[in-house]
Structure 1
Amino acid sequence: MTKIIPLLLAMFFAVNVSGADQIPDCLENGKPIAVDNERVLSFKDTTQTGFLARAHVYGPIKRVFDERSSHARFEIVLGPEADDMLEVVYNKGFGALPALRSGMNVETCGDFINSEKQNGPYPPSPSGAIIHWVHKSNNPKKHASGYVVIDGKLFGMGHARGHGRIHK
């Protein structure tokens, strides 16, 4: 019994240390990019509907949109102006999120898309732009992974259920 207790304690501490969230680099063309809200706001102001680029942003949740069964959608604040918002579209197939509420701090990495107007089958975003693919990639050689950090906890690194497409 005296040998089991130290072993159990060692296992407990190993799980707690390894369970800490290690936030991955946000990659664009294989290179890390820093949080840059201004760059994303510039994309919103200067690009046309459908423009796509990698993005790494940080801001508090302003509002939570109605959830679809497969995706959580919420808006974060990127700057001081009334329209400095970005819609985050998270595929719940990569893991559950906590109950979302206004004021929670979010860091996210993924694909920015200007969504000011209808884009093919996709309606415009209430925020004028979205960030999606904010989860682990099933094929990192084909598409870089993204993620969402909410109040310091990492999400989007689970194994995919489904194929990762946005379902509108």
Structure 2
Amino acid sequence: MIGFKMRAVLIFGILLSASLSLAAGYPACKDKKRTLEFNQDMLLNYRDQMEPKFKTRGFIKGTLIKVIEDRQRHVHFEVDLDGDAETSDDRIEVIYNTSFGSLPDYGPGAEIIACGDFIVDPYSPLKAVLHWLHHSPKQKAHDDGYLVINGQVLGLRQ
């Protein structure tokens, strides 16, 4: 009987989490079958403590500081994760592939939500990258990611 109650509570929590993200205007961020909560604090710890090329799923909410570069259909953003643009130790690089949809108008201060693959990257100016912010071209081969700029969801199948 306890097992059934625990399963019911777990299922309710998963459904509640997914419905809250949809109500907030963005889809759930998945890591296989698990729904992620925003984990930018954990990602910053990984950036500072893990070996280069360490990889995990990331789900962030932050503020656009600037475009680092725009080349070969990939736009590289500098995103601040603590809401204080005066500090710079809490920023990561977010990379969006425009082959999966064009970007809306945006500028410094835009709200960014991103779901994708996080990598500790010594070649990034910010030492950490969040990429794969789009659907998987091969269904079921990779968890989908997405990018939200000022409430507009990008990178998912239409």
Same fold (TM over 0.5): yes
Question: Bigger radius of gyration, 1 or 2?
Answer: 1
How far the C-alpha of 1:66 sits from its partner, in A, is 2.2
Are 1:127 and 2:126 matched, yes or no? yes
| Match of residue 67, structure 2, among 64, 68, 83 | 64
- Counterpart residue number, 1:154: 153
Richer in strand (by share): 2
Shift of 1:150: 0.6
Amino acid at match of 1:84: D
Q: TM-score, normalised by structure 2?
A: 0.77
Of all paired residues, the percent bearing the same amino acid is 33
Asked if the contact 1:95/1:158 (under 8 Å) is kept, the reply is no
Query: Which amino acid counterpart does residue 138 of structure 1 have in structure 2?
Result: P
1:47 lines up with 2:50 in the alignment: yes
Cα distance in 2 for partners of 1:25, 1:147 equals 10
- Please, which of 75, 78, 81 is the counterpart of residue 75 of structure 1? 78
- How far did 1:158 drift? 4.5
Q: SS at the partner of 1:149?
A: strand
TM-score between both structures, scaled by the size of structure 1: 0.73
Unaligned runs of 5+ in 1: 1-20, 118-123, 160-168
Match of 2:97 among 73, 87, 91: 91
Distance 2:72 2:101 in 1: 13
How many residues are aligned here? 132
Is contact 2:30–2:143 with CA below 8 Å preserved after alignment? yes
Q: Which runs of 5+ in 2 are unaligned?
A: 1-23
